[in-house]
């Protein structure tokens, strides 16, 4: 092997090592960014406003068990204050989960991120209550978002049961 071949091989090896280090750095930054987002999402979830919104949605549904979505929409259209509060709560909860869905669908976060921010009881309210309110409002052009979370929720059912058992 002559000096030029050895030099070419050395340059190729150094380039490959640099590429590998860059790739590892990129993965590390992505994980760090995703971890920061998880913390941000969970802080929002544990906020007093989110707690109040989740509680209000559950209480409203429980007090109007048979027709809560249609009653809410009718009351909202006539300017009922309770219906307006439920609407604000619906928006708070929907936007929390919608942001996670859009981040995932756009490729900015992994399914691991989605599962991390879903290990919360609010997903049941989102799927059982918000879905019906959104449908009554006509705000759902497709079912993709709810189908996505419903499938993930089903997968995470046993994980959540383990967490509850450990508490």
Distance CA 87, CA 90 (A): 5
Instruction: Band the pLDDT of 135: cuts 50, 70, 90.
Output: confident
Percent of the chain whose pLDDT exceeds 90:
28
Task: Print the domain residue range for 128.
Answer: 31-166
Query: Is 8 inside any structural domain?
Result: no
Asked whether residue 89 is domain-assigned, the answer is: yes
pLDDT reading at 23 higher than 60: yes
**22 in a structural domain:** no
The residues, any chain, with a CB within 8 Å of residue 70's CB and separated by 6 or more, are 136
pLDDT recorded at residue 165: 42
103 in any annotated domain: yes
Please give the pLDDT value at position 43: 92
Domain presence at residue 2? no
* CA distance linking residue 165 with residue 56, whole number of Å: 26
pLDDT of residue 141: 47
Considering its fold, how many domains does the chain have in total?
1
The model's pTM? 0.70
């Amino acid at each position: 092997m002559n000096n030029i071949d050895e030099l070419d091989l050395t340059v190729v090896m150094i380039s490959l090592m640099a590429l590998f280090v860059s790739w590892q750095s990129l993965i590390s930054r992505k994980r760090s960014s995703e971890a920061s987002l998880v913390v941000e999402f969970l802080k929002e979830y544990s906020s007093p406003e989110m707690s109040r919104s989740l509680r209000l949605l559950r209480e409203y549904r429980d007090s109007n068990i048979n027709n809560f979505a249609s009653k809410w929409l009718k009351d909202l259209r006539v300017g009922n204050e309770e219906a307006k509060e439920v609407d604000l709560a619906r928006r708070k909860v929907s936007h929390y989960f919608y942001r996670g869905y859009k981040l995932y669908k756009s490729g900015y976060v992994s399914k691991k991120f989605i599962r991390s921010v879903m290990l919360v009881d609010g997903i049941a309210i989102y799927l059982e209550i918000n879905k019906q309110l959104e449908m009554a409002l006509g705000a759902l052009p497709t079912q993709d978002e709810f189908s996505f979370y419903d499938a993930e929720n089903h997968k995470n059912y046993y994980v959540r049961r383990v967490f509850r058992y450990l508490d």
